[in-house]
Structure 1
Amino acid sequence: MRLDLVDLNLFLCIVDAGSITAGAKRASLALASASERVRKIESDAGVALMERQPRGVVTTEAGEALAHHARLILRQQAMLKGELHDFAVGARGTLHLYANTVALTEFLPSRLAPWLAERPRLRIELKERTSADIIRAVASGLAEAGIVSDAIKAQGLQLQPVMKDHLALIVPPKHALTQYPKVRFMDVLEQPFVGLAQGSALQDHINDQARAAGRLLDFRIRMKTYEGVCEMVSHGIGIGILPQSVARHYSRRHAYETLVLTDAWARRQLCLCFRNWKALSAPMQSLLAHLGASGE
């Protein structure tokens, strides 16, 4: 049988109305067109689907079977249409968002929660990468968008600032460095450090800066969490580098001094990064707009 959705809808309209004339009207078809379609449906089926009576039509047993399956098919079609619409407007599917360490821990949680709560069928896969890795992924088309530091050049990409992301040096109380409210990274490279665990995008970025200066950091210990770094520093194990917002947050629990790093790479902003706004999928546009993108 060569039935299309219009045929199925018309058949159900006729069944529900009890007449071809009323069914055609419900289906927004001319009576002649509706009658011809019904004739072709029965011809293709090879069996009578309706009995014509003076006051309308009634379905045969075969017609009841067709009506049953027609309702299932049209219901599935409506569900499919609804799901595709959800994908189109960003209410369903999986978004892949690349972000550096600070974005994942300090920026995204409070901002993503209300947006995602309104979209129960949508999933977000967050991927932690260094800003340099994210920029390469977006530039090559491997990622739609990411959240990066503006300390990294992003030629050919759009960067839209959404939060300050300055890094600070934290040192134990009464450390010799506390007499200097501002320090250069070069001047502390010989100090023992408390670092973040391997795999941390932020720590990888700091290590890259040390290598660029011709040195390797001397780690006494590496911790998995920001608070772990703060606690170790407060006990005099070494010094550490963290985002200023993180240092302020944990200073209420642990005793250490926070110093300003004067290096340009440490005075950063978090930026949304993408190639072309119009080329982004509708779900990604919705997410980035919520995070602060201007959409230009």
Structure 2
Amino acid sequence: MSDTALPPAALPDAAALPDAAAEAQRQDYHYRVISRALHEIDAARAEAAAGGHRRELPLTDLAARLGFSPAHFQRVFSAWVGVSPKRYQQYLSLDLARELLAERLPLEEVAASAGLSGPSRLHDLFLRWEAMTPGEFAAGGGGLTIRWGRFPSPFGEALAFATARGLCGLAFTAETGFEAAFADMAARWPGATLREEADAIRPWVEAALGGRGEAALTLIGAPFQIKVWEALLAIPSGEVTTYSEIAARIGNPAAVRAVGTAVGRNPISYLIPCHRALCKSGGLGGYHWGLPVKRAMLAREAARREAGIAPALLCLAQK
């Protein structure tokens, strides 16, 4: 058993907590288990490679390394995904990104069918978004009041920020810590007034993270960044693309490095799905809030897509 194993007792007694606090504790626990499982799977793979062979980590062995029974780990994974998956390790494997990349459709086809999972299905999540003008972006948030709050998510604690027009920031603190994540986000709008008012933005955040309802986004960035983020919005849950495909999509195929920089500066993580952008080789590339978070996002989306419960998404630009 690892020194950092998470025994079942780490799950708090939900009955002793208010509903919101219990949900936050539950989601944080689930993410910590998944993050630890990713680490253990990678460690086992490295050990096998060092011995000159390749061996997948069986469920019983993984559960033992975490200090769980196999049944408990399966319950946690199923609760985190929202459905009992067929093959848990397929989604947690480091090879998932390459497999998704090999199966992907051309970005043009993905964009044409984004959010449509069947002829009779209604959209689960409706995102309407608008971009601030270059002048507003240049002002560094001057004159803006940005409300923010801390929220539970399937990927640990999320920090959400919103103007009166929509969500303008979403960050994840599990790998960086709250203080670093908050300072990073606040520095993006140095002229803005920040107010902690979670209840004021809760409906947008819960719709966005829950994949159901309606949320508004405010894109605050340079014109080139906005074009890249628009391209990301066309990639549905469970699909991936490459930085070079995004560059071609926006009509600037030579700008792969600049695209990568713009992807990394995306302020509304997960909703503008920069985690779905991969290297052409199938490597994960980077992720501003930590690669374990990116891997967890891809794993959860792949499992939910295969189960047929990935949210259908409609994005509408407001001009």
Q: Indicate the structure (1 or 2) with the bigger Cα radius of gyration.
A: 1
Q: Which has the higher strand share?
A: 1
Common fold by TM > 0.5: no
TM-score, normalization: structure 2? 0.24
Normalised to the residue count of structure 1, the TM-score between the two structures is 0.25
Q: Which has the higher contact order (CA 8 A, sep 6+)?
A: 2
